Structure 1
């Protein structure tokens, strides 16, 4: 990655310029059997569409706070990077009543209703499927995002010194996030081409770093596993081998 990268969105742009076809996020849900592999280009396309949704349809502005009520999931990674692209602070697991807008999975909809701003719901179904019927008071992400543009340009430059992420009582600017992600990547032994398997949740910095930011900062990729505890030791060994995993974080 480029030494000049100062936000997570910068890291993604550098990854796209270096090798758009390589895998970046491979997601497993071991409760449903779902597997999704996203190349750098595919993830970047989802991020651009989501950032356009944020800035255009949802009228989010730099400095706005978004309560992100999602588990470790490939679509959560998309929202984290879209927030960075638009200069919106991603408050992971944050209080919806104190947020400007909220993004919720299917299990946190009642909590999300406390937000008085825009509300977006994700069904978290395989292949990004929509709800059979959109929850009342929410936009269905799977319905709204496909029509968004494939390229994103923020209305104003994103300030690397502005708050980018809040999780577990920790608040980081974009520049601080990138610096921490690089340090974590070095500690984990990640380098370009590494494959990190993470079974950690997205409710802590450690989980977010292993499950997205550290691999992105290192030019590596992540095998993100939800409900990994439902996998037998033998099946886990087989996954590590088949996915060419070089580092694990569980």
Structure 2
């Protein structure tokens, strides 16, 4: 399952198990690392599994949320259990998972580093000195930190993570004043060349459906949609605030 591959590229501080389901915690940093990936058999009746999601979330002081593949029987069953789409998580409540070939061409000055710079952190997290959770989530695993330096600043950045044969792309950012110069494509080309040297043969991305600009870029690079997922949260009365 490709979604399990993606989850290995985005490591939480803590991951549990509810059967095959994976409750995750990273002190609130990103929905992916602070939700339960509801794929496979939870090993118990669905109402009990959803209560276990609630218990895990309450214990770790995060909202109870499940990440579910869209338009599946699992999503239908969760909706029938009184859970609702977690539209509060804007703009990434609904996400398209894309796959495509490694790209080729000019790197436009982009380089892939073994260690993140303060400029990379600032571009990807908003802080040159991020807290433990973003540091852990973004730097764990076989990760390349892509940057373009222009006019004495980090003009663009990307995170590439290798999971098996896949290059997982995340946190692609270009400063507003440097857009429309081909930097995003250059970062993708540089990350692809780096990933090919690590044995990767394809690229996978998780992109908010609302992010039309990013979707267009990746479409132009040959990526197509593999599936979508959505986040769901308990509706009124669907998640008891039970003591841990």
Query: TM-score, normalization: structure 2?
Result: 0.29
Higher helix share: 1
Query: TM-score, normalization: structure 1?
Result: 0.29
> Larger Cα Rg: Structure 1 or Structure 2?
2
Relative contact order: is structure 1 or structure 2 higher (C-alpha 8 Å, sep ≥ 6)? Answer: 2
Higher strand share: 2
